[in-house]
Amino acid sequence: MEYMHRLSELAPGQQGRVKALLSTGSIRRRLLDIGLIENTTVECIGRSPGGDPSAYYIRGAVIAIRSADSKNILIE
């Protein structure tokens, strides 16, 4: 059985598979629109010098997501 983690816990070079979105409202809609649905593979490719936001490779695109939003994305 896989353990659940938050997307914000991924270090650059690591990847995980989306299991759930805990976000609500418009940010949830945006995350779904960019392809963050269940079983999508996400790879952290880097963090900004200040540590926020982080860049993720999602379905062929690089997307920057703030840590406050990535904490609401559960991965395994």
pLDDT tens, 15-60? 999 999 999 999 999 999 999 999 999 999 999 888 789 999 999 9
Strands 54-58 and 41-47: antiparallel
From CA 22, how far away is CA 73, in angstroms rounded?
6
pLDDT at residue number 2: 65
From CA 40, how far away is CA 37, in angstroms rounded?
6
Q: How confident is the model at residue 3 (pLDDT cuts 50, 70, 90)?
A: confident
Q: Is 42 helix (H, G, I), strand (E, B) or coil?
A: strand
pTM of this structure = 0.88
pLDDT at residue number 50: 84
5-75 folds as SH3 type barrels. (2.30.30)
Domain parsing of the chain, residue ranges:
5-75
pLDDT at residue number 51: 76
